[in-house]
């Protein structure tokens, strides 16, 4: 009974990490809920909901949706809203942004993501997890980085999804698999994270998670292998320590568990996306670029040994 209670309380505590964390007075605090969906029809979709500090505008809620290879086409859309549009209903386990963007039910089986936007076209995504591997976290999920704190919770390392996706008047039913994590930072992301690598895969021995490197070369984050959190030891380009001032041509992640095979792949993207492409207006784009720099997302797929197929996202300036 005592063991059952401990497990129940730890599960409840981790589930609570689905909701927004207190800001603690940090001016540049940011928080993000990120999804990657790899669909059976060959498309990939990405959704992010972010509580962020926008230079010149203060704190806002950002919503981002991108889709690659939707009937041979790719598209993206982003919107920003005042923070009062962000609503949490913990009794119903719902995060609601302007009634147009939802995260419904705690992460796991039956977790639902809704995205609707009408900006330079109509965009729609409504997917639900029909299964999900168990959520795992390293200790309390919090890492100390350059005298700041970074929280990471891999809520769904892998799960089957189904639902609908649409662009303009073309809406189709889809199935596939997905990944979801939740992160928060007590300083501006660009001050703490020079490069962030998110990755997931479909095979039974898959590895999935997020590994980051700071401008000072600190490596932090974690992945899940066979249901166990694993920590990175090194991030290499070729045989040398990776320099995070530029995007790599290839990457190798080694693990503190030396018996675990490295994750090694060529970082050749099939898509390069700038977050400025969806900023609200020319002046805001220039202000963000001058204060934070232009942040890019490189997305690709690699066949690795022994991890099999890996879909990855590299982000940074």
Backbone angle region of 56, left / alpha / beta, with phi > 0 → left and psi within -120 to 50 → alpha: left
Bridge partners of residue 103, in order along the sequence = 95, 113
Q: What is the mean pLDDT of residues 34-39?
A: 98
For the domain that residue 9 is a member of, what is the CATH number? 2.40.370.10
Q: What pTM does this model have?
A: 0.92
Q: What is the mean pLDDT of residues 190-203?
A: 94
Cα–Cα distance for residue pair 20/37, rounded to 1 Å: 23
pLDDT on residue 2: 41
CA distances for 276 relative to 54, 76, 106, 236, 284, angstroms: 12, 11, 31, 29, 9
pLDDT on residue 54: 77
pLDDT at 16 over 50: yes
Residue predicted with more confidence, 165 or 9: 165
pLDDT at 80 over 80: yes
Cα–Cα distance for residue pair 83/97, rounded to 1 Å: 9
Query: What band does 58 get if pLDDT is binned at 50, 70 and 90?
Result: confident
pLDDT at 287 over 80: no
Residue closest to 49 by CA, chosen among 204, 156, 183:
183
Query: What band does 294 get if pLDDT is binned at 50, 70 and 90?
Result: confident
pLDDT on residue 190: 87
pLDDT at 77 over 60: yes
Number of compact structural domains in the chain: 1
Contact 201, 309 (CB under 8 A): yes
Strands (E), 55-100: 58-70, 73-82, 86-89, 94-97
Residue closest to 182 by CA, chosen among 95, 247, 245:
95
Give me the domain span that covers residue 147: 2-316
Query: What band does 290 get if pLDDT is binned at 50, 70 and 90?
Result: very low
pLDDT at 172 over 50: yes
Query: What band does 22 get if pLDDT is binned at 50, 70 and 90?
Result: confident
pLDDT on residue 26: 76
Tokens linked to 258: 């030396």
pLDDT at 118 over 70: yes
Q: What is the mean pLDDT of residues 259-275?
A: 93
Angle at 101 between CA 100 and CA 103, to 5 degrees: 145
Which residues fall within 8 angstroms of residue 39, CB to CB, at 6 or more apart?
A: 45, 165, 174, 175, 176
pLDDT on residue 122: 93
State pLDDT tens for residues 237-264: 999 999 999 999 999 999 999 999 999 9
């Amino acid at each position: 009974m005592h063991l059952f209670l401990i497990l129940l309380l730890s599960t409840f505590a981790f589930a609570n990490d689905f909701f927004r964390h207190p800001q603690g007075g940090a001016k540049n605090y940011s928080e993000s809920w990120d999804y990657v969906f790899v669909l059976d029809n060959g498309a990939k979709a990405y959704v992010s909901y972010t509580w962020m500090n926008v230079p010149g505008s203060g704190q806002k809620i950002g919503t981002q949706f991108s889709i690659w290879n939707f009937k041979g086409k790719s598209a993206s859309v982003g919107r920003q809203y005042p923070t009062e549009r962000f609503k949490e209903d913990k009794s119903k386990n719902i995060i609601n942004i302007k009634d147009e963007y939802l995260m419904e039910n705690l992460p796991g089986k039956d977790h639902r993501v809704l995205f609707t936007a009408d900006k330079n076209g109509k965009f729609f995504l409504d997917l639900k997890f029909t299964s999900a591997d168990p959520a795992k976290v390293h200790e309390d999920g919090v890492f100390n980085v350059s005298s700041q704190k970074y929280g990471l919770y891999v809520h769904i390392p892998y799960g089957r999804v189904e639902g609908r996706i649409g662009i303009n008047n073309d809406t189709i039913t889809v199935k596939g698999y997905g990944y979801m994590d939740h992160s928060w930072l007590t300083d501006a992301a660009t001050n703490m994270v020079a490069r962030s690598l998110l990755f997931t895969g479909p095979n039974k021995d898959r590895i999935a998670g997020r590994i980051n490197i700071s401008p000072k070369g600190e490596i932090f984050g974690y992945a899940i292998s066979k249901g166990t959190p694993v920590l990175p030891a090194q991030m290499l380009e070729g045989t040398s320590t990776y320099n995070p001032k530029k995007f790599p041509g290839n990457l190798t992640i080694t693990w503190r568990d030396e018996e675990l095979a490295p994750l090694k792949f060529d970082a050749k993207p099939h898509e390069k996306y700038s977050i400025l492409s969806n900023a609200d207006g020319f002046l805001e784009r220039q202000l963000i670029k001058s204060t934070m720099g232009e942040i890019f997302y490189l997305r690709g797929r690699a066949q690795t040994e022994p991890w099999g197929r890996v879909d990855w996202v590299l982000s940074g300036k």
